[in-house]
Amino acid sequence: MGLRVWIWLLSLSVLWGGSFFFAKVAISELGPLTVVFVRVALAALALDIVLLATGTNPLRRDAPWSAYLAMGLLNNVLPFSLIFWGQTQIASGLASILNATTPLFTLVVAHFLTADEKIDPAKVAALLAGFAGVALLVGPELLVGGASVWGELACLGAAISYAFAGVYGRRFKTMKIAPLEAAAGQVTASSVLILPIMLAVEQPWTLPAWPSPTVWAALGGLALLSTALAYVLYFRILAAAGATNLLLVTFLIPATAVLLGAAVLGERLAARHLAGMALIGLGLAVIDGRILRLLRPAE
């Protein structure tokens, strides 16, 4: 990858790592579902305006809305709701580490639901390392119970939802849909899905006070930076460097989230959390394949 793509990749890791920080700030005064709605609705508005400016109608009737709704459910509504609720129980840095298991779960889902992405011995090693890290992170809380274990399991549930979304999203390539249009359709559909649920469950109009400027700033960052702008970078990297290089962002997101959580929110992770992150990182490195290629003797 050239310098420009590396800058995009690092920027994307900061934007997505920052989403855990922004969400933690927002849920201090708002319900998780309300934060989900604002995130996808503002992102949809921004992306739809961009499409209109380029002469594309984002709400055209012949768009594949059933696919957008399915992708929005799996890639936005379910995982965002689970992560944001999980962050009411655990630190944002820990939530980001658990979210980094998404490629591991994707291996399992793809093995059973696709014909061309089967698990091989290297991927078995990746799964063993990664899930050992998960056991180190979640195991002690499972033994004692409490709210934190449910927060951790919620973040793992989000990773599983992302895995199904990754496999389902492969069909967009055959649909010949422009990446920006697919992103806009997805978050627009997500807004429609989450709105009635948010209104019924959280009733945000009953809040005792209007959200503070800090929360509004966090919501703006979450929607416009960590969602709308992040999607644009995501698809640019995908087009310029491919899916394998894009996987590198998974290594970097937890670092950004942990640093922001420690520096701004005063969060601290235990030694076993860092050890679990290292094991998950090892599993991701095996999936990525770069380390194995470096260790393989030259022929």
67-103 residue pLDDT tens? 999 999 999 999 999 999 999 999 999 999 999 898 8
pLDDT at position 294 is 67
Give the helix ranges, DSSP H, for the chain.
3-26, 32-53, 65-72, 78-86, 92-99, 102-113, 121-144, 147-168, 171-175, 179-201, 213-220, 230-246, 249-264, 271-288, 290-295
How far is residue 179's CA from residue 19's CA, in Å, rounded to a whole number?
Answer: 21
Higher pLDDT, residue 171 or 93? 93
Mean of pLDDT over the chain = 87
Q: What is the pTM of this model?
A: 0.89
- Tell whether the model's pLDDT for residue 145 goes beyond 80: no
Per-residue pLDDT tens digits for 23-79: 999 999 999 999 999 999 999 999 999 999 999 998 888 889 999 999 999 999 999
**End-to-end CA, the chain:** 24
CA–CA distance, 235 with 270 (Å, rounded to integer): 35
Q: How many domains does the chain have?
A: 1
At 30 the pLDDT is 95
pLDDT of residue 1: 67
Confidence class for position 236, pLDDT limits 50, 70, 90: confident
pLDDT attached to residue 58? 87
Question: Residue 221 and residue 215: Cα distance in Å, rounded?
Answer: 10
Distances (CA, A) of 222 to 25, 77, 253, 254: 10, 15, 15, 16
Q: Place 292 in a pLDDT band, splitting at 50, 70 and 90.
A: low
Domain ranges, residue 20: 3-295
What's the one-letter identity of residue 252? L
